[in-house]
């Protein structure tokens, strides 16, 4: 069975290395002429699936915007993930989970477990209870070939002072996260454990030795560019993430697809 890293590499080769976010926040629903309710959420998601499935390498539903509607929102998220994956489109659930022991194992089962209604190809996780505390999700990745994206150097300004803190060995905290994630990946091929590094980060960690994918938010509306991606992640499988710059082309399905394909063409 091919692991997530290999499948993502092949999808990027075919479609262009791009991840498109599905972010149904209230203002965007309104801009699309939809109500900020469960019906609006379902219609928004339906159009995104129709536009992106089979046309981009990776799709990233933002879990928070579904979670705010409770169980009905999660039901729509389940439908959205399943519909995308049924077309062979890779899905990363942007859940940013992070805990210890059996609780982390529960999250791993929820987002990557075979037969789970939320099963995705990959999930985002937070390492700030310790990278080792994420062991359950790494184990699940190894067993099933699923992907994991660990937050390392995010693009929000509040993170800078924490993530650039330097230890006695001279490495920043972000670099330590990357290095620990690298230990889970084999040499010689793209592994399944990746990291999240913002495209607007000024002091980025070294990524060449990761041997895994790099999810890069901050491209487009947030100011990051293809040049930033090349500067930060040269030699790595970098997958820029765009949301607003594509979703603003809606509400039409054809326009959404055209925007996604156009942006993806810049990362071939």
Instruction: Give pTM, 2 decimals.
Output: 0.96
Domain with residue 176: its CATH number is 3.20.20.70
CB 20 within 8 A of CB 243: yes
- As to burial, measured by CB atoms within 10 angstroms (0-12 exposed, 13-18 middle, 19+ buried), residue 215 is buried
Half-sphere exposure (Cβ direction) of 69: Cα atoms closer than 13 Å: 21
* H-type alpha helices, 113-252: 135-144, 160-163, 173-182, 226-233, 244-247
CB 37 within 8 A of CB 26: no
Write down how long the chain is. 268
Integer Cα distance of 216 and 55 in angstroms: 19
Helix, strand or coil, per DSSP, at residue 265: helix
- Stretches in the chain below the pLDDT threshold 70: 221-223
User: What are the DSSP E strand ranges found in the chain?
Assistant: 19-22, 58-61, 90-97, 122-125, 147-153, 193-197, 213-216, 237-242
The model's pLDDT over 52-89, given as tens digits with 9 standing for 90+, comes to 999 999 999 999 999 999 999 999 999 999 999 999 99
Integer Cα distance of 265 and 268 in angstroms: 6
User: Nearest-CA neighbor of 2 among 88, 104, 60?
Assistant: 88
Question: How many domains, the chain?
Answer: 1
Half-sphere exposure (Cβ direction) of 17: Cα atoms closer than 13 Å: 20
Domain region containing 70 = 4-265
- According to the model, what pLDDT value does residue 268 have? 80
Integer Cα distance of 76 and 204 in angstroms: 36
- According to the model, what pLDDT value does residue 236 have? 87
Q: Provide the annotated active-site residues.
A: 96
- Give the helix, strand, coil percentages of the chain, each rounded to 5: 45, 20, 35
């Amino acid at each position: 069975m091919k692991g997530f890293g290999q499948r993502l590499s092949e999808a990027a080769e075919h479609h262009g290395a791009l991840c498109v976010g599905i972010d149904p926040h209230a203002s965007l629903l309104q801009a699309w002429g939809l109500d900020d309710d469960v019906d609006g959420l379902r219609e928004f998601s339906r159009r995104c699936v129709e536009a992106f499935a089979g046309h981009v390498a990776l799709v990233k539903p933002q879990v928070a915007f579904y979670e705010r509607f409770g169980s009905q929102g999660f039901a729509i998220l389940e439908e959205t993930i399943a519909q995308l994956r049924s077309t062979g489109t890779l899905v990363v659930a942007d859940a940013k989970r992070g805990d210890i022991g059996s609780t982390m194992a529960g999250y791993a089962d929820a987002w990557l477990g075979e037969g789970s209604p939320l099963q995705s190809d990959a999930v985002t996780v937070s390492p700030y209870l310790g990278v080792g505390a994420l062991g359950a999700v790494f184990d699940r990745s190894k067993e099933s070939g699923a992907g994991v994206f660990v937050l390392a150097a995010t693009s929000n300004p509040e993170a800078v002072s924490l993530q650039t803190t330097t230890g006695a060995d001279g490495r920043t905290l972000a670099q330590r996260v990357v290095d620990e994630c690298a230990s889970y990946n084999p040499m010689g091929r793209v592994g399944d454990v990746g990291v999240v590094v913002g495209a607007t980060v000024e002091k980025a960690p070294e990524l060449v030795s990761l041997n895994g994918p790099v999810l890069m938010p901050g491209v487009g509306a947030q100011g990051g560019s293809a040049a930033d991606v090349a500067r930060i992640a040269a030699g790595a499988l970098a997958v820029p993430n765009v949301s607003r710059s594509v979703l603003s082309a809606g509400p039409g399905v054809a326009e959404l697809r055209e925007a996604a394909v156009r942006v993806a063409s810049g990362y071939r």
